Amino acid sequence: MHAATAFNLVLVSLIAIIALEVLARRLNLPPAAALLVGGVAMAFVPGLPHIELDPELVLVVFLPPLLMYGAYFFVWDDFKRNLSGILLLAIGAVAFTTFVVGVAVHLVVPQLPWAACFALGAVVSPPDAVAAKAVLERVALPRRLMVLLEGESLLNDAAGLVLFRFALVAAMSGVFSAPRAVASFAGLAIGGIVVGVVAGFIAVKLLRALQDDYLVITTSMLTSWVSYIAGEELGVSSVIATVTCGMVVGWHQHEVFTAAQRMRGTAFWQVVVFVLEALVFVLIGLSLRGIAVRLGGVGDAFALLGPATAAVIAVVILSRFVWVFGVEAVKWFAWNVAGRKRANADEAGVAVPDWRAATVVSWAGMRGVVTLAVALSLPETMPGRDLILFAGFAVILVTVLLQGATIGPLIALLSLARGHERSSRHLSEPQAWARMETAQLAAIRPLVHDASGNVIHPRLLEQYTYRAELTRRFEDMEEFPTDARHAHYDVVLAAIAAGRAELLRMHRAGEIHDELLHSLEHDLDLQEIIALHSRG
């Protein structure tokens, strides 16, 4: 494809993304599903150039920043407290799905070698970080479930890719060693952690040294690709390296970035991640025509590969239920044997057995770009390559459209809306504010008096004294009274709106220069952002 044609196709895709996003929100559908369907529809538009995805390019362009963004905002304390549950999903569920799918495919297509069957299982086993984030960020879930699913999506690609690598080698060479595979996986994972930690600390040192906001933001973005490529070049897990690097940078972000850098950087990352996520789903849809051409047409592919593909889809979905509910049953048994009390669960860091939560986790298994890229990377001589390609795309299509579109109603049906889950070892919001306001008042008291003891900044002293007394009054409450807070910030927002209207009037009348307009408007924007955030 000519470079100009590729650029025009990207522009068309971005326009389609905006239209599909608007349509999805109007129809209350998951945008990921709308984008995928839109991409499929675009693939068969007459005159549209043929899309041939380079799997290595797709992974290296899209995966690092999306993994970095997810890890950057991941809560380290939650990750540690739920590590066993995350690993059971990210490694246990992936390995179990790979095995079960492999067995099922061999039963349906007995002439296919075992290694090729397990390669197909490895391709479709890991739920995708992009697909999961695109769907889950628009539903309300209890905090513990969000941590489990987000943590799984960050780590399970590494498990799936390692399993795929060994299955591919076994399929092409006929040699496989389970102990060697386990040892290799451990080495890849540990190596990825080491590379990620080193890359993260180097990035933190560099970000501290840079002063310019735009250089800092650009460096933070480049860090994702550097850590990923470093992992690839050193022969360790590039996924784990990127996730670890993102966690290190995210942990130090509060000391490294200034307020302006954090605001600008967050806005920049949100736009980039939105575009990348949307393009991933459109590109997946656009790739259908290429897959259909490889297989001799969609109709022929369905006729030849339909039964085996249907079996793969069913096993992929059901195996996750079997694994999650099996783990839940073991947990329930251990819980009763140990005689634990539900009230002590949070302090002990132990997840309470919950069948409703297990149902949601079982259903949240959307596949995406990793499945497609890995399937497309198969060598031409791979046994069962056509089936792996077709089944991989079908699994993506069904899980995103079916599970992604219904997980919201399922959560509502099971009454699993996000609720208050603060641990007793953590302060409430009013308690945290009370301590911050007390520290601020203590800091300004020596500074608002001159050498003779006279108050030289009475307005500041009055303001901080009032805020400290107000927060102390609500300190014993679980949260600030909503009505009082809304009423207060509604007045603040009305004042800001009036100031903005007068500012524009002065500018339109030619009374102030454009430079002053932008400066004052920036101040009003900051005030409005703070007021809207504080209002809640």
Tell which residue, 488, 475, 518, 473, has the closest CA to residue 500. Answer: 518
Tell which residue, 171, 86, 83, has the closest CA to residue 122. Answer: 171
Coil, helix or strand at residue 449: strand
Residue 213 within a domain: yes
Tens-place pLDDT, residues 134-159: 666 666 777 788 888 888 887 887 78
Query: How far, in Å, CA of 172 to CA of 176, rounded?
Result: 10
The whole domain housing 524 covers 481-536
Write b or e for each residue in 281-310: b if 16 or more Cβ atoms lie within 10 A of its Cβ, otherwise e: bbbbbbbbbbbbebbeeeeebbeebeebbe
Average the pLDDT over each of 161-170, 176-185, 455-464 and give the range with the smallest value: 176-185
Q: Which two tokens stand for residue 231?
A: 């992992």
Tell which residue, 13, 41, 54, has the closest CA to residue 277. Answer: 13
Residue 89 within a domain: yes
Residue 422 within a domain: no
Range among 191-195, 403-407, 433-437, 480-484 rated most confident:
191-195
Residue bearing tokens 């999506």: 153
Q: Which two tokens stand for residue 245?
A: 């690097």
Residues 25 and 98 grouped into a single domain: yes
Listed in sequence order, the residues at least 6 apart from 233 whose beta carbon sits closer than 8 Å to its beta carbon are none
pTM, whole model, 2 decimals? 0.78
Residues 371 and 227 grouped into a single domain: yes
Q: Is the pLDDT of residue 118 over 60?
A: yes
Residue 220: exposure state from Cβ atoms within 10 A (0-12, 13-18, ≥19): buried
Query: How far, in Å, CA of 117 to CA of 91, rounded?
Result: 19
| Residue 175 pLDDT grade (very low, low, confident, very high; cuts 50, 70, 90) | low
Residues 170 and 292 grouped into a single domain: yes
Query: How far, in Å, CA of 143 to CA of 82, rounded?
Result: 11
**Where a domain ends, among 441, 462, 480?**
480
Residue 423 within a domain: no
Residues 163 and 186 grouped into a single domain: yes
Q: Is the pLDDT of residue 297 over 50?
A: yes
Coil, helix or strand at residue 425: coil
Write b or e for each residue in 350-384: b if 16 or more Cβ atoms lie within 10 A of its Cβ, otherwise e: bbbbbeebbbbbbbbbbbbbbbbbbbbbbeeebbb
- pLDDT at position 502 is 92
| Residue 298 pLDDT grade (very low, low, confident, very high; cuts 50, 70, 90) | low
Total Cβ atoms within 10 A of residue 238: 28
Residue 424 within a domain: no
Total Cβ atoms within 10 A of residue 166: 21
State how far the alpha carbon of 408 is from the alpha carbons of 141, 324, 403, 411, 412, in Å.
9, 19, 9, 5, 6
Query: How far, in Å, CA of 349 to CA of 91, rounded?
Result: 21
Q: Which two tokens stand for residue 353?
A: 């057995």
CATH of the domain at 380: 1.20.1530.20
Residues 470 and 491 grouped into a single domain: no
Residues 364 and 508 grouped into a single domain: no
Query: How far, in Å, CA of 161 to CA of 95, rounded?
Result: 11
Residues 94 and 44 grouped into a single domain: yes
Q: How many domains does the chain have?
A: 3
Residue 349 within a domain: yes
Query: How far, in Å, CA of 474 to CA of 488, rounded?
Result: 15
Residues 129 and 111 grouped into a single domain: yes
Residues 361 and 496 grouped into a single domain: no
State how far the alpha carbon of 77 is from the alpha carbons of 144, 226, 247, in Å.
12, 26, 11
Residues 124 and 216 grouped into a single domain: yes
Residues 450 and 523 grouped into a single domain: no
Residue 343 within a domain: yes
Residue 257 within a domain: yes
- pLDDT at position 149 is 85
Query: How far, in Å, CA of 152 to CA of 132, rounded?
Result: 10
Contact 194, 238 (CB under 8 A): no
Residues 475 and 485 grouped into a single domain: no
Tell which residue, 163, 183, 138, 174, has the closest CA to residue 35. Answer: 138
User: Does residue 129 or residue 237 have the better pLDDT?
Assistant: 237
Total Cβ atoms within 10 A of residue 32: 27
- pLDDT at position 300 is 59
